[in-house]
């Protein structure tokens, strides 16, 4: 699999720095929690951020992808970007990233990148200040900082937004195999929980059958 240039260290670092500077200098920080507003702002400044690497991008492009931001690069790679903001003084935050089923279908095409733009900020006085920006494909997230939530097929989540471990240049194949292993452990546990719930509500039903009204 050919790797996107955008996630090579020299480009990625420059992109993260430009995003941080643009947000701190030009974005309406009263909207820092509105990820769609950040997506629109970055889309309107995409050429400033990734320069000659940029391909096609527009707000309708992102809406069709149900993403905060979506674009292609000049090499034909397609990026769906999920923006996550994180206030640094919060003790615990477990953001949802994406459905395991949606990601699995999306990654059937090697040119697709499901990317996370994590924006860490803190409040200084009455103003939000961006402290750190991470822009990586989801497969750069180490599984030791991810978890699966019991929503639908399963929802990939950051276990604690204060603790993020990245594996630069991580193999997508390796990461997806780890996803499969994680789910093959997760699903039987969920089946066990469902069995317990069935037993519990059979007991509750018996209780209500005996009640006289």
95-114: average pLDDT: 94
**Contact assessment for residue 80 and residue 117, using Cβ atoms and an 8 Å cutoff:** no
Return mean pLDDT, the chain: 89
Per-residue pLDDT of 39-49, as tens digits, reads 888 888 888 89
Which strands form 146-149's sheet, in the order they lie side by side? 96-99, 155-158, 146-149
Per-residue pLDDT of 45-92, as tens digits, reads 888 899 888 887 766 655 665 678 889 999 999 999 999 999 988 888
The pTM for the full model equals 0.87
* 152 dihedral zone (left: phi>0; alpha: psi -120 to 50; beta): left
**Contact assessment for residue 148 and residue 183, using Cβ atoms and an 8 Å cutoff:** yes
All domains of the chain in start order, with CATH: 5-210 (3.40.600)
* Closest to 85 measured CA to CA, from 15, 132, 26, 21: 132
Confidence at residue 46, expressed as pLDDT on a 0 to 100 scale = 87
């Amino acid at each position: 699999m050919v790797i996107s240039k955008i996630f090579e260290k020299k480009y990625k670092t420059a992109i993260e720095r430009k995003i941080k500077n643009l947000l701190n200098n030009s974005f309406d920080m009263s909207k820092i929690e509105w990820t769609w507003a950040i997506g629109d702002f970055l889309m309107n400044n995409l050429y400033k951020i990734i320069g000659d690497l940029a391909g096609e991008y527009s707000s309708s492009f992102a809406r069709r992808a149900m993403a905060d931001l979506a674009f292609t690069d000049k090499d034909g790679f397609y990026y769906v970007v999920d923006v996550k903001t994180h206030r640094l003084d919060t003790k615990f935050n477990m953001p949802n990233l994406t459905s395991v089923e949606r990601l699995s279908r999306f990654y059937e095409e090697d040119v697709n990148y499901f990317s996370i733009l994590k924006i860490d900020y803190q409040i200084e006085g009455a103003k939000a200040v961006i402290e750190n920006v991470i822009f990586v494909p989801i497969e750069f997230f180490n599984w030791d900082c991810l978890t699966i939530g019991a929503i639908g097929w399963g929802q990939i989540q950051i276990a604690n937004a204060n603790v993020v471990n990245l594996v630069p240049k991580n193999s997508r194949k390796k990461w997806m195999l780890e996803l499969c292993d994680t789910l093959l452990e997760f699903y039987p546990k969920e089946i066990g929980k469902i069995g317990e719930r069935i037993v519990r509500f059979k007991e509750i039903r018996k209780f209500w059958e005996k009640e006289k009204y």
